[in-house]
Amino acid sequence: MKYRAPLDPDCPEVAAFMAALLGDPMTKAMGAPSDDITEDFARRHRAKCKRCQDYGAANVEIG
């Protein structure tokens, strides 16, 4: 069992990260952002962002 707490997509830092990722030619070549990249960012970002901590807690996914 694995828990996944998403980041708030409306968080300015998350939006900037996703925009940079989607604008990256390497990401485009791979077809979609890799889970490894986004999960690494999510872990680091959530540690310092109260907004995303609250959003993740309210929207946690179990998979």
Specify the residue, 5 or 11, whose C-beta has the smaller distance to Zn ion. 11
Element (H, E) at 25: helix 25-30
Nearest approach, Cβ of 51 to Zn ion (angstroms)? Answer: 5
Specify the residue, 11 or 27, whose C-beta has the smaller distance to Zn ion. 11
Report the C-alpha gap between 1 and 62 in whole angstroms: 7
Specify the residue, 10 or 35, whose C-beta has the smaller distance to Zn ion. 10
Binding footprint of Zn ion on the chain (CB under 5 A): 11, 49, 51-52
Contacts of 51 (CB under 8 A, 6+ apart): 8, 11
